[in-house]
Amino acid sequence: MPEITREEVAHLARLARLALDDSELDVLAGQLDVILGAVAQIAEVTDAADVPPTSHAVPLVNVTRPDAVVPSLPREKVLAGAPAAEDGRFRVPRILDDSA
């Protein structure tokens, strides 16, 4: 049975870029425990062991498009929804982490 700690939830929140405070982390840790406890029953499905996983509900393969250029959006529309823009670009606050 999983026991989710506040620290684990804090790690997940970092991965998911969610600024959660301690009380939120505590609530979520409790709820996650309950939910994971409930979904853990799928581990019982032992006949799944040598069953292939299903990632797609449709049995399609090789859906492609020809390499043809179609018009892009006009830039006014591209930037219209941006919280901030400058010089035709999206403006963002300073970036800390320069690795990708």
Partner 1 sequence: MTDLTRLTASETAAAIKDRTVSAVEVTQAHLDRIATVDGQVHAFLHVDTEGALAQARKVDAGEFPGPLAGVPLALKDVLTMEGVPTTAGSKILEGWRPPYDATVTARLKAAGVVILGKTNMDEFAMGSSTEHSAYGPTHNPWDLTRIPGGSGGGSSAALASYQAPLAIGTDTGGSIRQPAAVTGTVGVKPTYGGVSRYGLVAFSSSLDQAGPCARTVLDAALLHEVIAGHDPHDSTSIDAPVPPVVEAARSRHIRGLRVGVVKELSGEGYEPGVQARFDEAVEILKDLGATVTEVSCPHFVYALPAYYLIAPSEASSNLARFDSVRYGLRVGDDGVNSLEEVMALTRAQGFGAEVKRRIILGTYALSSGYYDAYYGQAQKVRTLITRDFARAWESVDVLVAPTCPTVAFPLGAKLQDPLAMYRQDVASIPSNLYGGPAASFPAGLSDGLPVGLQVMAPTLRDDLLYRVGSAFEAALPAPVPSLAWENA
Partner 2 sequence: MTAVPYDEALAEFEPVIGLETHVELGTASKMFCGCATEFGAEPNTQVCPVCLGLPGALPVVNETAIESTIRIGLALHCDIATWCRFARKNYFYPDMPKNFQTSQYDEPLCTDGYLDVLVAGETVRIPIERVHLEEDTGKSLHVGGATGRIHGASHSLVDYNRAGIPLVEIVTKPVTGTGTMPAEVAKAYVTELRDVLRGLGVSDVKMEQGSLRCDVNVSLNRPGQEWGTRSETKNVNSLRSVERAVRSEVERQAFRLRAGERIVQETRHFHEDTGMSTSGRSKEEATDYRYFPEPDLVPIAPDPVWVATLKDALPEAPSVRRLMLTKELGLSDNDSEAMVNAGVLDVVLATVEAGTSATEARNWWLGHLAQSANTAGVDAADLPITPAQVARVVALVNAGTLTAGLARQVVDGVLAGEGEPDAVVVSRGLAVVSDEGALAAAVDEAIAADPDAAEKVRSGKVAAAGALVGKVMKATRGQADASVARRLVLERLGVTADLS
66 binds partner 2 (CB under 8 A): yes
Size of the site for partner 1 (CB under 8 A): 55
* Residues near 82 by beta carbon (within 8 Å), at least 6 away in sequence: 90, 91
Contact characters 2-41, partner 1, x per CB under 8 A: --x---xx--xx-xxxxxx---x---x--xx-xxx-xxxx
String of contacts with partner 1 for each residue 41-80, x by CB under 8 A: xxxxx-xxx-xxxxxxxx-x--x-x-------x---xx-x
CB of 68 to partner 1, least distance (A): 12
Sequence-distant (≥ 6) Cβ neighbours of residue 12 within 8 angstroms: none
Sign, CA torsion 14/4/39/20: negative
Q: Does 80 bind partner 2 (CB under 8 A)?
A: no
- What is the identity of the amino acid at 73? L
What does the block give as tokens for 76?
A: 């006014």
Coil/strand/helix, residue 55:
coil
* Contacting positions for partner 2 (CB under 8 A): 15, 17, 55-56, 58, 60-73, 75, 78-79, 86-95, 97-100
